[in-house]
């Protein structure tokens, strides 16, 4: 977890809200109006601007800018007690905990991707594969059934998806799920490392892979490139989004 990033995320919201409150109290907002939508929109613009100035990841800037306006819009149409909003925030944290610090939104690989990945795996020889950010674990469970000669490890930092993946793995001797940071996983233990992350962590993942992965092992990235490093092979899949699997042999 990147504590500095979390501090910027929270601080941007507090500074934006505090600035709007002070301007409202000083009577400086009569020109734009003092309705809830106007105040929420101004808050969102300020949070977006602060996130841009503090160089938060691009996708996180838009989350910051839309957070308060989205809450205001929801509150306008749903008269709910405060604990409902607190529960909603807690649920978002449980599902998307990896996004701020790990720079990894919750992406789920489709069945076409798992079929393509299966084509890279040995049919008889023993091997080990890790999915860095395994989400709900459905793809790993599918591979574990199909390849009894393989050992599969999933790593997930978001508590709720990790719990779901762990429940799926119960009773499967060749499938393990770990809750935690992908950066603490030793990649030298695996023949195949699969990652569906985001552009932000790819340079750091490449450095980690170069340090730890064994000669001949495969690094497979779903969609996201490593700047300055051309993959040894690219599989373009016949699915709705034309998924690309970028493959490097270490």
Q: What is the pTM of this model?
A: 0.65
Beta-carbon neighbour count of residue 176 at 10 Å?
Answer: 16
Bridge partners (DSSP) listed for residue 153 = 130, 176
Coil, helix or strand for 154?
strand
* pLDDT value, residue 237: 92
Q: What is the pLDDT of residue 1?
A: 41
Percent of the chain with pLDDT over 90: 42
**Cβ(145)–Cβ(119) under 8 Å?**
no
Residue 142 has pLDDT above 90, yes or no: yes
Q: What is the pLDDT of residue 184?
A: 93
CATH topology of domain 111-249: Rossmann fold (3.40.50)
- Identify the band that residue 47 occupies on the pLDDT scale cut at 50, 70 and 90: confident
Q: Is pLDDT above 60 for 111?
A: yes
pLDDT at 8: 79
92 has a pLDDT exceeding 50: yes
Taking 80 as the threshold, does the pLDDT of residue 82 lie above it? no
More confident residue, 64 or 184: 184
Q: Cα angle at 105 between 102 and 107, to 5 degrees?
A: 130
Q: 7-16, 53-62, 151-160 — which is least confidently predicted?
A: 53-62
pLDDT at position 199: 85
User: What pLDDT shows up at residue 76?
Assistant: 66
**What pLDDT is recorded for position 30?**
67
Q: What is the mean pLDDT of residues 138-151?
A: 95
In whole numbers, what is the pLDDT of the chain averaged over residues? 83
50 vs 216, higher pLDDT = 216
Q: Is 117 exposed, middle or buried (0-12, 13-18, 19+ CB in 10 A)?
A: buried
**Domain segments of the chain: what residues?**
3-79, 111-249
Task: Look at residue 159 in the predicted model and tell me its pLDDT.
Answer: 81
pLDDT in the model for residue 150: 97
CA angle 211, 214, 216 (to 5 degrees): 125
Q: What would the two tokens of residue 125 be?
A: 């020889």
Mean pLDDT of the 188-199 span: 94
Stretch among 7-11, 98-102, 127-131, 163-167 having the lowest mean pLDDT: 98-102
pLDDT exceeds cutoff 80 at 33 = no
């Amino acid at each position: 977890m990147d504590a500095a990033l979390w501090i910027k995320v929270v601080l941007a919201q507090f500074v934006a809200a505090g600035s709007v409150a002070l301007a409202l109290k000083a009577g400086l907002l009569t020109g734009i109006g003092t309705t809830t939508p106007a105040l929420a929109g101004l808050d969102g613009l300020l949070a977006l601007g602060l996130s841009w100035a503090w160089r938060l990841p691009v996708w996180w800037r838009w989350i910051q800018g839309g957070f308060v306006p989205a809450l205001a819009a929801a509150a306008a149409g749903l008269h709910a007690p405060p604990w409902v909003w607190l529960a909603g925030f807690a649920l978002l944290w449980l599902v998307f905990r990896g996004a701020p610090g790990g720079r990894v939104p919750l992406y789920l690989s489709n069945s076409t991707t798992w079929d393509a990945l299966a084509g890279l795996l040995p049919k008889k020889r023993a091997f080990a594969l890790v999915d860095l950010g395994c989400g709900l674990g459905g793809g790993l469970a599918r591979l574990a059934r199909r390849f009894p000669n393989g050992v599969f490890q999933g790593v997930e930092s978001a508590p709720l998806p990790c719990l779901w993946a762990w429940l799926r793995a119960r009773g499967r001797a060749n499938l393990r799920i770990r809750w935690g940071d992908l950066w603490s996983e030793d990649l030298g233990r695996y023949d195949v490392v699969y990652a569906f992350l985001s552009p932000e962590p790819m340079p750091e993942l490449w450095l980690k892979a170069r340090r730890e992965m064994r000669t001949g092992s495969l690094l497979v990235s779903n969609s996201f490139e490593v700047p300055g490093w051309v993959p040894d092979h690219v599989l373009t899949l016949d699915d709705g989004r034309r998924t690309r699997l970028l493959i490097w042999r270490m």
